[in-house]
Chains A and B, each alone.
Chain A
Amino acid sequence: MPDATGLELIAQRVREKVGDEAVTGTLYYRRHATLDVAPSSVRDVIAYLRDGEDEPWERLMSVHGVDYLPEEPRLGVHYELLSMERADRLNVRTRVGTDEPRVPSVVDLHPTADFQEREVFDMFGVVFDGHPDMRRILMPEDYEGYPQRRDFPMGGEPVIYTYNEPQLPRWYD
């Protein structure tokens, strides 16, 4: 991981090359460097980190969705970049609200993002603009709702233990 100073230098270069409003913050925590970016400039930042002159982050290892329920904006998308040259990792993350969860797609830069963005769409409902095939990938195509959101019901059936058997009388019917 780049150290705290290296992270600030990366953030500085991104601000210069992509735009001042692109970077909303940095986080260096337990030797993990994270760059917070505005959702509209995710694609530009990742394109710069891939192709920029001093930037070695040529690989996208994974895309994650997160739901920070009490906080606003609720949904987060995390990108984990890897540099084979420096054997080093950098996280890029962004936050969008549930009312209009739109993030530009990075599939044209990193083809591996195809299925992973579909999974984030399937589980969290984040729409990736510019994705060639924005469909559900894990759940059935007629499924309603985004099951990994924290306000989504867990599903399943009540399981009978001795402690809750009195609350479910005649469950065996």
Chain B
Amino acid sequence: MKAQQLLRGELEGEDLEREVEQRLLFTKFEEAQNWARKNALFPLGFGLACCAIEMITVVGSPRNDLSRFGAEVIRFSPRQADLLILSGRVSIKMAPIIRRLYEQMLEPKWVIAMGACSSSAGMFNNYAVVQGADKFLPVDVYVPGCPPRPEALIYGIMKLQDQIMGDPAMGWRERYRAEGTEEVA
């Protein structure tokens, strides 16, 4: 009833003030955009090792139901994905391939290092495994554990959502001093 009157221009004075306050929401365009991005994360369908099984149960299964947080649509093409979950140890033979997948993903893109191995090589302190995926990729969130509990990975994804929503200084370009590497829009 009030809405009709508002649209017709029949409301005035204090009534109009209160109605506008209740019904309209003002925000910045960037914030609306970030809100949309954070609630539509598309993880790349990509697994490396044993953590991949855990990642699948988190991202793909109804038991953990990641769609509650808006990140459940797995995309099997890097062109359509914007979240790379490194689930497992990264061997030095695999590293250039992962880097290439990362380069193929469109901006904006985020990386989660899931588990001890992709964060720091875990127990594989040897000649065959890259000592932490951040040697060749900008990593946004590290999730510890061997493997991490499903709750831990969900918490990591929610941390990433906070990061997308929040301070732009949380971005990897600032942390890795990589300003000027953005793709041309």
Chain A positions near chain B (C-beta within 8 angstroms): 138-140, 143, 147, 152-157, 159
Chain B positions near chain A (C-beta within 8 angstroms): 92-93, 121, 124-129, 131
Across-interface contacts of A139 in B (CB, < 8 A): 92-93, 128
5 more contacts with CB within 8 A, not counting A138-B128, A139-B92, A156-B124, are: A138-B93, A147-B128, A156-B131, A157-B125, A157-B131
Q: How far is the CA of A50 from the CA of B63 in the complex (A)?
A: 53
- B127-A152 in contact (CB<8A): yes
Query: 17 interchain pairs (CB within 8 A)?
Result: A138-B128, A139-B92, A139-B93, A140-B92, A140-B93, A143-B92, A147-B128, A154-B125, A154-B126, A154-B127, A155-B127, A156-B124, A156-B125, A156-B126, A156-B127, A156-B131, A157-B121
Q: How far is the CA of A159 from the CA of B125 in the complex (A)?
A: 8
Min CB distance A159 to B, Å, is: 6
Min CB distance A173 to B, Å, is: 16
- B125-A147 in contact (CB<8A): no
Across-interface contacts of A157 in B (CB, < 8 A): 121, 125, 131
Q: How far is the CA of A153 from the CA of B126 in the complex (A)?
A: 9
Cβ-closest chain B residue relative to A141: B93
Q: How far is the CA of A138 from the CA of B128 in the complex (A)?
A: 9
Across-interface contacts of A140 in B (CB, < 8 A): 92-93
Q: How far is the CA of A126 from the CA of B63 in the complex (A)?
A: 50
Out of B121, B127, B131, which one reaches A147, CB within 8 Å?
Answer: B127
